[in-house]
Amino acid sequence: MKNLHVELGERSYPIYVGSGLLDNPSLIAPHVKGDECLIVSNETVAPLYLDRLRSSLNVAKVDSLVLPDGEKFKNLDTLKTIYDELLARRHSRGTTLIALGGGVVGDMTGFAAATYQRGVNFIQVPTTLLSQVDSSVGGKTGVNHPLGKNMIGAFYQPVAVIADIDSLRTLPDREFRSGIAEVIKYGLICDASFYHWLRDNASRINARDEEILAEIVYRCCKAKAEVVARDERESNIRAILNLGHTFGHAIEAVENYQGLLHGEAVAVGMLMAADLSWRLGWLDKDAVESARSLLDALGLPLTAPATMSPEAFRSAMALDKKVARGVVRLVLLRAIGEAVVTGDYPVEKLHDTLEAFC
């Protein structure tokens, strides 16, 4: 097992990465404050891991709630079922909410924890690659609105993140590849050596080599922890973690969260960001082709869905949270391993990229 910390003063917390962590009561127990907790999972993950997690909790009252699985259920209606369960089971301000699942479960459970009785204890137990390397760390919580992704939420940090690599063995291939997109993101935005390491180990990644996966989760969590410690509420540098997300969120919203998975949409978005960076003269063509080759080697999509048009992109992107004074601010690349957030680009160059990918 490896562990590291997200350094946020009094709200600092550990991230544990390794195998067999779900069966280790000594990891979880110190972070459960009080004698009651609610485990929130979904119908895919619960049959695999809920009983194992429950048996690791030495708590008098352990309730559980199983939600439907899928991004389309990440909304206020589903969030209400968490509040309903907490109230029906008479959970107090001393309760602990435990998110057992992927990014959707983690985001909704975290938002419920942030708002139930004005804030209760919260632990992340991510079971997908995407949630282990990205969404479980940093305290972004929330739900989607029909007009935009993650438009309703709060920054609310967990007290611990427990990433059991063993849970990745049961991930469907498509979900696994979706998580890989967020892994590649870290190489592109801040760690060129990690990016080249991913290229060198593509075949072992596809084979889900346990040693490689443990290294991937650790290095991504370390990178994100460092960024979050510098900018918890995304006032400046943390925005680089959104490489490809403005384009990707537009795809998800237009498809009503029933088309490409989040990581798949982000993969297309990252390639679009690289393309625009090339059109601006910041990134050379070889770098763009290198990114395209890596995404392709790891089974990720390279073009926008047929449902997308330049007009659909522009309309959805106008609702992005990074829009400032009517300008869509984008995360672009100066080089592999160097990202910048900017709204200073010729609009016609953006239009050229949209046309090229639609």
The answer to whether the Cα torsion of 331, 163, 91, 31 is positive or negative is negative
Whether residues 201 and 217 fall in one domain: yes
Whether residues 57 and 6 fall in one domain: yes
Catalytic residues: 118, 140, 182, 224, 234, 238, 242, 245, 249, 262
CATH number, domain with residue 156:
3.40.50.1970
CB 182 within 8 A of CB 136: no
Whether residues 125 and 232 fall in one domain: no
Whether residues 189 and 166 fall in one domain: no
Q: Is 256 helix (H, G, I), strand (E, B) or coil?
A: coil
Q: Is 197 helix (H, G, I), strand (E, B) or coil?
A: helix
Domain count, the chain: 2
CATH number, domain with residue 238:
1.20.1090.10
Domain that holds residue 203: 173-357
What pLDDT is stored for residue 268 in this prediction?
98
pLDDT 10s digits, 242-292: 999 999 999 999 999 999 999 999 999 999 999 999 999 999 999 999 999
Whether residues 155 and 228 fall in one domain: no
The lowest-confidence range among 3-7, 38-42, 326-330 is 326-330
pLDDT 10s digits, 118-176: 999 999 999 999 999 999 999 999 999 988 889 999 999 999 999 999 999 999 999 99
pLDDT 10s digits, 305-345: 999 999 999 999 998 878 887 889 999 999 999 999 999 99
Whether residues 189 and 159 fall in one domain: no
CA of 296: how far to CAs of 81, 83, 191, 206, in Å? 39, 42, 20, 12
CA of 223: how far to CAs of 5, 88, 109, in Å? 11, 40, 24
Last residue of a domain, one of 170, 202, 219: 170
Instruction: Work out whether strand 140-145 and strand 148-155 pair parallel, antiparallel, or are unpaired.
Output: antiparallel
Output phi, psi for 342, to 5 deg: -150, 150
pLDDT at position 215 over 90: yes
